[in-house]
């Protein structure tokens, strides 16, 4: 492993400031992702939901009628994984599916009333988690952070 990769893997760069070694932004984002997912997983466990199931229900709350492929992209999972998620959500009667009137081979997915109630409860809890995560940041700082992260995503997605 090259020295640069080893340094990145450890989460510190060669550059230092008055407070010691500077962390790579990617490392900090990775740590945030892991701690956020862990907190989210713990919160959702009380509702018997996984993070991908929660994400799917959350997407459907805002965008009812999406196909399996559309849901997979928005939930950051493969179409095969979305099929497995759908089986679980259908068995729990949290979603329903019907044939898209424009495309007979496409199934549209919608929340059921129990699914809507569940995701609304979960969203209230995850909103609190987000408030905790952003505690100490002003509204302009939160807005800048959000826009900066969106720019980072666009920059990396553009290369794909």
| 59, pLDDT greater than 80 | yes
Same domain, 85 and 9: no
Average pLDDT of every residue of the chain: 87
| 5, pLDDT greater than 60 | no
- Give backbone dihedrals phi and psi of 128, rounded to 5 degrees, phi first: -65, -40
| pLDDT score of 12 | 44
| pLDDT score of 7 | 44
Same domain, 108 and 136: yes
Same domain, 25 and 89: no
Strands (E) in the chain, as ranges, are: 12-17, 20-23, 95-100, 103-111
Q: How far apart are CA 86 and CA 53, in angstroms?
A: 8
Task: Give the structural domain span for 20.
Answer: 1-45
Same domain, 145 and 109: yes
**Structural domains in the chain (count):** 2
Same domain, 70 and 2: no
DSSP codes joined into one string, 37-74: HHHHHHHHHTTT--HHHHHHHHHHHHSTTB-HHHHHHH
Same domain, 34 and 51: no
Mean pLDDT of 82-102: 94
pTM: 0.77
Same domain, 30 and 63: no
Same domain, 9 and 82: no
pLDDT digits (tens, 9 = 90+) for 98-137: 988 888 888 899 999 999 999 999 999 999 999 999 999 9
| 14, pLDDT greater than 50 | no
Same domain, 120 and 67: yes
Q: How far apart are CA 88 and CA 82, in angstroms?
A: 10
Instruction: Count Cβ atoms below 10 Å from residue 40 Cβ, excluding itself.
Output: 20
- How large a percentage of the chain has pLDDT more than 90? 73
């Amino acid at each position: 492993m090259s020295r640069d990769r080893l340094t990145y893997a450890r989460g510190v760069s060669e550059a230092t400031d008055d407070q010691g070694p500077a962390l790579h932004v990617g490392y900090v984002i990775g740590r945030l992702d892991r701690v956020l997912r862990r907190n989210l997983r713990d919160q959702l466990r009380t509702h018997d939901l996984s993070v991908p199931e929660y994400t799917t229900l959350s997407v459907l709350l805002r965008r009812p009628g999406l196909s399996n492929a559309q849901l997979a992209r928005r939930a950051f999972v493969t179409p095969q994984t979305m099929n497995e998620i759908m089986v679980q959500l259908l068995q729990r009667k949290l979603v329903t599916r019907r044939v898209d009137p424009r495309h007979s081979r496409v199934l549209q997915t919608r929340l059921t009333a129990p699914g809507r109630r569940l995701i609304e409860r979960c969203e209230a809890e995850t909103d609190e988690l987000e408030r905790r995560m952003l505690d100490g940041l002003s509204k302009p700082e939160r807005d800048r952070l959000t826009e900066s992260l969106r720019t980072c995503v666009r920059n990396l997605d553009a290369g794909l």
